[in-house]
Amino acid sequence: MSIISWIRTFPLVQYFMVWAQDVFVSVLKTGPVPQHVAFVMDGNRRFARRRKLEVREGHSAGFESLAHILEMCYQVGIKTVTVYAFSIENFKRPPVEVNALMEIARTKLLQIIHHGDMADRFGISIRVLGQRSLVPSDVLDAIDKSTEMTKGNTTAILNICFPYTSRDDIATSMRDIVQESEKRNIDPDTIDEHMLEQHMFTKDCPPLDMLVRTSGVERLSDFMLWQSHQNCVVEFVDCLWPEFEPWRFGSILLRWGRQKAVEYRKQEMEQDQKVI
């Protein structure tokens, strides 16, 4: 690691890296790319502990990493990115940390819309998924402001799950449907998987293609359970979130793209055989 960081101090290396990443993105774009990717950003606190930083600084480093990854995602052409920012269970953490996370969420959301660089450059509309009733009012203001200001963007979507759990998502969807049935707007016999999906937080998004969790923990931790349990590639990456570099994500995308390309080619060949 030290050799790599030493090489990085060379003149022009940084410039070359940025250029190489751009080329890599252009290359990836010519093949299949997932439509919807979800991230569990795990490992910020361990990162802080290892580097002897404050927990708050660990979370800030995590946000920096997120910005790099998001940039790559939208450059490559991924339409929807969903990130797990805060779980309902996270309210059990010490109040100091919860407050710090809320503060980060508020300032970063406002920062995104004030600078507007990323949101406007890629045409991202920001959505916040989760239980609004649990969010303090000043953060709620920031959420409303950022969603309102980016509402017109249609190229891509950024879903921030805050505070979210997948079970709560499923339960909310079921409750909404039961409520509608009680008012006789829905016939119970017509309820199906699609209807449940249409009442979830992710209703307008394409189906989830890939879920990435960092820090080597091999659990879903109540995130996107319904969306990821079939027809979805789940990747558990053994590195902390602030150390998760675009290169690493690129290699995951490359493997995914190759697998899809092989599948498409098979389909094509089968179709050709049918024609003959």
Q: In what order do the strands lie in the sheet with 124-129?
A: 124-129, 156-161, 80-84, 36-40, 210-213, 233-236
CB of 197 to other proteins, least distance (A): 9
Tell me which residues in 71-90 interact with other proteins (CB under 8 A). Answer: 76-77, 87-90
Closest CB to other proteins among 31 and 207? 31
**234: its two tokens:** 């789940």
**DSSP-derived secondary structure letter, 207:** P
Q: Does 230 bind other proteins (CB under 8 A)?
A: yes
CB of 166 to other proteins, least distance (A): 7
String of contacts with other proteins for each residue 87-106, x by CB under 8 A: xxxxxxx-------------
Q: Does 149 bind other proteins (CB under 8 A)?
A: no
Cβ atoms < 10 Å from Cβ of 119: 19
CA distance 75 to 26: 8
C-alpha distance from residue 170 to each of 116, 133, 198 (Å): 33, 17, 11
CA distance 89 to 206: 27
From the list 166, 150, 84, the residue with the least C-alpha distance to 117 is 150
Closest CB to other proteins among 8 and 17? 17
CB of 12 to other proteins, least distance (A): 22
Say if CB 31 and CB 261 are below 8 A apart.
yes
Tell me which residues in 23-52 interact with other proteins (CB under 8 A). Answer: 23, 26-33
Closest CB to other proteins among 10 and 192? 192
Q: Interface residues with other proteins (CB under 8 A)?
A: 23, 26-33, 76-77, 87-93, 165-168, 170-171, 174-175, 177-179, 181-182, 184, 186, 188-189, 191-193, 196, 217-222, 225-226, 228-230, 233-236, 254-255, 257-258, 260-261, 264-265, 267-268
